[in-house]
Structure 1
């Protein structure tokens, strides 16, 4: 599908710039050019498609739908699916958390949405698709949805509402029902220019992360010997997956920045499940997120949230290693 991009990267690096093939510098630059163009193209296309979907399911509609309809146990599935089609990072937690809880959505369902949204969105799907192909992307998307459902359901059963901060409990107690403004009916043709503009804005916003992530990946691809990581984080090491998740949590990045690095880790011998577990720790949980969540919950609830989701991330890593 992307052979023409590979030809362009080969022409640019090896012909125009006259850098010798199969050298560390040549391989690194070729990797950088090809992956940057491929991911940017996929990201724009998928962001546009998801923008069309998201224009019909904005966050306010999601909140109102989940709070006003009896879904007979399917609330977690709907919340996790909505998390996929709405692009938020882990540090969007506080305003989303307040809006969902204020709207009367149970805490477990709120957590389901917050778990899934940063893990699986159009940015992650576009980059994953361009990096690992359709099969692994599909498995990752399904895993992210299931992780959100199980994690949110588990947290919901623990009855943790008492650990919300007094500030949030006061907001819930004083929440008043607001009349919904009738949404202006627009056709797809009328919405499309705005959707394209939003897609461009998203691509432009994550472009620095893409470039930095692919640059790091390119350096690793060209200069780190094959087998370097395999010696330390191999499938034979039973603790490799939890170590990867624990190492990922202190970092903060989005999919655009970390997936190109994951691609190279896999190429250098790190098992795919271990690499994905590391990525989940980076984009799904983070120290900045913990600092923001302190506004709406106490440290005990934050620890339970991080511990529960981290545990399921580790299980996902082992699962990926077993089936891929």
Structure 2
């Protein structure tokens, strides 16, 4: 949901829907922080595959929108789009830019840094604590056989089922890491795990509500369809790639 204000500003400022949709699909799934945490919590191989899936899903979304726009779709995408006369501030590329790398020499910058560190630490701490708590409950009370039957490697519907389960149960990207790690330990197939963690980031209920409030129904439907389709394809491709190793 954090990218919604940026997406709104881009659309109002006149950025075409295709690159916006590509960014919209990809940005919630992976970022540098997410890469490090996923590699530590699940494994480097899974993280690299998730990164590749993120780029592929974004590109797929962008090219699909380009093809549809060429056929006259999506001339107007925003609900009640405001006028934006000040969305494009002037920028002089020739003006000198001073970068203060040694921020610790500036008192205000130090205070900003510590404040951001506290906010980020609190955000990560509360969600990861909750996620590990949920993982412990799941390990203690959810029968392993149930997980294996539903989304295990022997289940024919593991990948699409993981996409559907990700919609109501996905909390956020940070909380999903230990949750997916626990599900993998309990027998969830790697392809289903890939689908769960990618589809949940795009189509979870909080994200869907934010998107629905911003754009028209046709754009929202395409966003949801591209997110679910891309995540299911990512799961199947990842599962197939592992079978070749």
Distance 1:130 1:177, change over 3 A: closer
Match among 202, 205, 208 for residue 284 of structure 1: 202
Query: Hey, what does 2:41 align to over in structure 1?
Result: 131
Match among 93, 101, 121 for residue 188 of structure 1: 101
The structure with higher relative contact order (CA 8 Å, sep 6+) is 2
Q: Summarize the alignment of residues 52-63 of structure 1 with structure 2, pairs less than 5 Å apart.
A: none
Contact 2:195 2:234 in 1 (8 A): yes
Measured in 2, the distance between the counterparts of 1:248 and 1:124 equals: 18
Query: Hey, what does 1:81 align to over in structure 2?
Result: none
Query: Hey, what does 1:265 align to over in structure 2?
Result: 183
Q: Summarize the alignment of residues 1-324 of structure 1 with structure 2, pairs less than 5 Å apart.
A: 91-159=1-69, 160-165=73-78, 167-168=80-81, 170-171=82-83, 177-180=88-91, 185-190=98-103, 193=110, 194=112, 197-324=115-242
Contact 2:170 2:176 in 1 (8 A): no
Measured in 2, the distance between the counterparts of 1:289 and 1:183 equals: 39
RMSD: 2.6
Normalising by structure 2, report the TM-score. 0.82
Contact 1:209 1:256 in 2 (8 A): yes
Distance 1:251 1:162, change over 3 A: farther
Measured in 2, the distance between the counterparts of 1:244 and 1:208 equals: 25
Measured in 1, the distance between the counterparts of 2:154 and 2:39 equals: 28
Normalising by structure 1, report the TM-score. 0.64
Measured in 1, the distance between the counterparts of 2:79 and 2:149 equals: 49
Q: 1:225-258 deviations in whole A, cap 9, x for unaligned?
A: 5443112222332222112112212345211111
Contact 1:285 1:306 in 2 (8 A): yes
Measured in 2, the distance between the counterparts of 1:208 and 1:103 equals: 36
Measured in 1, the distance between the counterparts of 2:74 and 2:170 equals: 27
Distance 1:298 1:183, change over 3 A: farther
Contact 1:254 1:283 in 2 (8 A): yes
Distance 1:224 1:140, change over 3 A: same
Distance 1:293 1:220, change over 3 A: closer
Measured in 2, the distance between the counterparts of 1:294 and 1:228 equals: 34
Measured in 2, the distance between the counterparts of 1:196 and 1:276 equals: 35
Measured in 2, the distance between the counterparts of 1:205 and 1:129 equals: 19
Name the SS for the 1:118 alignment partner: coil
Unpaired runs of 5+ residues, structure 2, are: none
Deviation for aligned residue 1:130 = 0.9
Contact 2:158 2:189 in 1 (8 A): no
